[in-house]
């Protein structure tokens, strides 16, 4: 099974537990709507890549970490689009959750996804225990995930910086976005028995770079081209790197962070493979020099194209190593 299908399958099986016949129908529909079809799935793919680079010795646990991380991400998008945050009416090329289902259901679906993410991991760890596997990974996995979405350094804190008079942009990016990338690298390492602390810097660099790329897209992409509203940062007056430092500086900083990320890959059996994969992936979200000078975003960084490119890069990379059949 390729990486893309593996992630989709684990998400379908996790969601099917939450949306069975006992679930209120609107909530069940909204949960599926929030998760399928997906976007880039970049976070679970990063988690899977790190696990594979470390041997992926507990695939069921890796699967549950991937599903949990993507559910947490989808929840953060549902909440981020609400009128009290970015008031965005489009997400992944379709009406955002509260437009389709109303604010009450959107809020509850986000909450349910967060709780279900933890339940998914807890169930898979119980299963592993029943098979006599894994000693202290349950508390560690729960710590990694909860740190990435709570306070003081997870998504909740990150989004809360928008409510302050001033915010340090790097702290804001690290908390609202970098934190879940850290969860991806650390949990991927943990499921395969590696020392997860060493994998934090990699997640931090990629996550911060990813948010800078998103800020650049928000500031420069033509309306209607990225499946979500553009100029959101300016209209909501959210801290954003382009407004603070300009487009040229932002692109240079993005490149710097990606360079740091490639150097931050810890020693592991699949280190070279993972580093090459990160370079290939990251190159796809660096705006070209052409865009740098004209201020226009070229067609090749249209996010829908980027999404397709990212998926194919990951799948080709996994297949070429024979890591996934
Ligand atoms: C959007 O993340 C929010 C950011 C933190 C930039 P993605 O660009 O990964 O969103 P999807 O999952 O592909 O839609
Ligand atoms: C979203 O940040 C980060 C989250 C924690 C959801 P943005 O508000 O910049 O992301 P988009 O542009 O709406 O995807
Ligand atoms: Mg936002
Ligand atoms: Mg937003």
Confidence band of 131 (pLDDT split at 50, 70, 90): low
| Ligand 2 pocket member 214 (CB < 6 A) | yes
| Ligand 1 pocket member 69 (CB < 6 A) | no
pLDDT, residue 302, reads: 40
User: What does the pLDDT average to over 9-13?
Assistant: 98
Task: Kindly indicate whether the domain formed by 3-320 is annotated with CATH number 1.10.600.10.
Answer: yes
User: Is the pLDDT score of 314 beyond 80?
Assistant: no
Average the pLDDT over each of 3-7, 59-63, 141-145, 281-285 and give the range with the smallest value: 281-285
Q: Are 218 and 211 within 8 A, CB to CB?
A: no
3-state secondary structure the chain: CCHHHHHHHHHHHHHHHHCCCCCCHHHHHHHHHHHCCCCCCHHHHHHHHHHHHCCCCCHHHHHHHHHHHHHHHHHHHHHHCCCCCCCCCEECCEECHHHHHCHHHHHHHHHHHHHHHHHHHHHHHHHHHHCCCCCCHHHHHHHHHHHHHCCCCCHHHHHHHHHCCCCCHHHHHHHHHHHHHHHHHHHHHHHCCCCHHHHHHHHHHHHHHHHHHHHHHHHHCCCCCCCCCCCHHHHHCCCCHHHHHCHHHHHHHHHHHHHHHHHCCCCCCCHHHHHHHHHHHHHCCCCCHHHHHHCCCCHHHCHHHHHHHHHHHHHHHHHHCCCCC
Residue nearest to atom 8 of ligand 2 (CA): 80
pLDDT, residue 130, reads: 66
Average the pLDDT over each of 99-113, 231-245, 297-311 and give the range with the smallest value: 297-311
Q: Please write the tens of the pLDDT for every residue from 84-118.
A: 999 999 999 999 999 999 999 999 999 999 999 99
Highest mean pLDDT of the ranges 127-131, 291-295, 318-322: 127-131
Highest mean pLDDT of the ranges 68-82, 223-237, 311-325: 68-82
User: Is the pLDDT score of 306 beyond 60?
Assistant: no
pLDDT, residue 293, reads: 42
User: What does the pLDDT average to over 150-156?
Assistant: 98
Residue nearest to atom 3 of ligand 1 (CA): 77
User: Is the pLDDT score of 281 beyond 90?
Assistant: no
More confident residue, 163 or 314: 163
> Whole-prediction pTM value?
0.91
More confident residue, 318 or 45: 45
Alpha carbon of 160 to ligand 2 centroid (Å): 13
Q: Ligand 4 being an ion, which residues bring their Cβ within 5 A of it?
A: 80, 86
Residue nearest to atom 5 of ligand 1 (CA): 177
Residue nearest to atom 9 of ligand 1 (CA): 40
Residues of the chain with pLDDT > 70, as a percent, come to 86
pLDDT, residue 310, reads: 42
pLDDT, residue 127, reads: 75
| Ligand 2 pocket member 79 (CB < 6 A) | no
Q: Where are the domains of the chain?
A: 3-320
Alpha carbon of 162 to ligand 4 centroid (Å): 11
């Amino acid at each position: 099974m390729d990486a893309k299908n593996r992630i989709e399958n684990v998400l379908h099986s996790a969601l099917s537990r939450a949306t069975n016949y006992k679930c209120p129908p609107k909530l069940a529909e909204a949960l599926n709507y929030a998760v399928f079809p997906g976007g880039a799935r970049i976070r679970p793919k990063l988690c899977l890549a790190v696990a594979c680079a470390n041997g992926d010795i507990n695939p069921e646990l890796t699967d549950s970490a991937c599903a949990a991380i993507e559910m947490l991400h989808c929840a953060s998008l549902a909440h981020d689009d609400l009128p009290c945050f970015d008031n965005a009416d489009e997400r992944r090329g379709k009406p955002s959750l509260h437009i389709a289902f109303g604010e009450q259901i959107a809020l509850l679906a986000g909450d349910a996804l967060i709780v279900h993410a933890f339940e998914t991991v807890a169930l898979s760890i119980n299963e592993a225990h029943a098979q006599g596997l894994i000693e202290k990974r349950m508390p560690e996995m729960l710590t990694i995930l909860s740190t990435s979405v709570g306070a003081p350094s997870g998504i909740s804190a990150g989004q809360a910086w928008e409510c302050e008079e001033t915010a340090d942009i790097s702290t804001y990016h690290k908390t609202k976005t970098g934190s879940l990338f850290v969860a991806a690298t650390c949990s991927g390492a943990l499921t395969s028995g590696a020392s997860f602390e060493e994998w934090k810097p990699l997640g931090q660099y990629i996550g911060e770079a990813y948010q800078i790329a998103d800020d650049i897209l928000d500031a420069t992409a033509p309306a209607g081209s990225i499946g979500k509203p553009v100029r959101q940062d300016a209209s909501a007056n959210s801290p954003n790197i382009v407004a603070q430092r300009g487009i040229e500086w932002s692109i240079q900083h993005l490149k710097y962070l990606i360079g740091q990320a490639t150097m931050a890959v810890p020693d592991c059996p699949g280190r070279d493979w993972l580093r090459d994969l990160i370079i290939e992936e990251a190159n796809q979200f660096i705006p070209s020099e052409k865009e740098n000078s004209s201020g226009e975003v070229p067609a090749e960084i249209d996010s829908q194209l980027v999404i397709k490119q990212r998926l194919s890069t990951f799948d080709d990379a996994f297949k070429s190593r024979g890591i996934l059949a």
